[in-house]
Every structure is written in structure tokens, then in C-alpha cells.
Amino acid sequence: MDVLIERVNISCGDDCIVLKFGRYLQGRRIGRPTENVVIRDSYMHTMAGIAIGSEQSGGVRNVKIENIVMNGTDKGVFIKSMRGRGGIVEDIKVRNIFMNHMKREMVGITLLIHTNQSDAHKAQPFSERTPVLRDIEFNDFLSD
């Protein structure tokens, strides 16, 4: 998959842009990650700006996010998954993000995203069901 998202102006009731691929066994079985994505020169407002996950069992890799203005967003960039989903999120480069009137954090990362599954937060041994994050860089975040 090769994707370019450029010069967009987004306002919505949830995450403005979301990168994901697959959920649980199906995503791991198909095993084709969302990859080679560039998001740049764009404006976002309301709710979260850019999210990676939480459905990313097939993986997300080689993502570049740059030159983004976020106005009044809840979060800037949010990487999220949960135990049991598996998948690898890797080679993510985020730079030159400017946030106006932010409501919460510029960057959020969790592997314990809320879910209706009662066993999602229980300790599990390391396996293919364990989400992995690696090679993630954040540079040049500014706020008002």
C-alpha cells in the first residue's frame, strides 16, 4: 500500500486520520501491513488529530507525518492498541506539528486501549498476540 494524504483540511467527530489494518487473528493471518504512508501539509481540528490503531494486527509501518497544524484537537498523534491484537507498529516518523488550543496531550501511546472485552487488560505471555512498537520518532512539536 502506498498512500499520500496532502493538503487536507479535516474536522470530524473522532480521529481526523486513522491508520489501521486488521483486528486479532484475521489481521495477523492476512499479514499485509498498512505501509508507505505520507501525511503532510494539512490542517485538522476537533477530537484527535492522527491515530495509528487500535486495529493494527496486520501491522503499520513506514509512515511519515509532517507539517501538520492541529487546532483544538483532543490529542495530536495517538498510537493505540491492546493486548491480544498483536501486530507491529514500526518506522514511524512524526515532525513539525503545531497545535493551537490543544485539550490534552500532543502525543499519546497506549497498549491498553479501552474495550468491552473483560480479559483485555489481564497479563498475557509474550506471543504473536503481543503488540510491538519500535523505531518511532517524534520531533519539533510546538503549541500556543
Which of 8-17, 94-103, 123-132 shows the lowest mean pLDDT across its residues?
123-132
Report pLDDT for 49: 87
The better pLDDT of the pair 63, 30 is held by 63
Q: List the chain domain ranges.
A: 3-114+125-139
Report pLDDT for 78: 87
Alpha-carbon torsion, ordered 92, 8, 56, 81, to 10 deg: 80
- Would the pLDDT of 28 be above 90? no
Average pLDDT of the segment spanning 103-118:
72
The better pLDDT of the pair 98, 80 is held by 98
| pTM beyond 0.75, yes or no | yes
Sign of the Cα pseudo-torsion (72, 76, 81, 86, in order): positive
- Would the pLDDT of 40 be above 80? yes
